[in-house]
Amino acid sequence: KWNLNDVSTHYKLNILENTATAFVFVIVVVNVFITAFGVQRPASEASSPS
């Protein structure tokens, strides 16, 4: 557990916060690209019975 009132831990907590923010940002960007350019079957292949 981190003590937010302890000034000596602020540097490490800032790094952890920035890392978590960057991680979430990367996940959001990857999800946007997956949604925009997702793999879809062609219409002719999807309609043919297998």
Instruction: For residue range 8-50, list pLDDT tens digits in order.
Output: 889 999 999 999 999 999 999 999 988 888 777 666 655 556 5
Q: Please give the radius of gyration of the chain, using alpha carbons only, rounded to the nearest integer.
A: 22
Please answer whether residues 9 and 3 qualify as being in contact, where contact means their C-beta atoms are separated by less than 8 angstroms: yes
CA atoms within 13 A on the CB side of 34: 6
The pTM for the full model equals: 0.64
Amino acid 49: pLDDT: 62
Query: For the CA atoms of 35, 41, 44, 50, what is the dihedral angle to 10 degrees?
Result: -140
Alpha helices (H) along the chain = 10-36, 43-47
> For residue 23, which of 31, 12, 11, 34 has the smallest C-alpha distance?
31
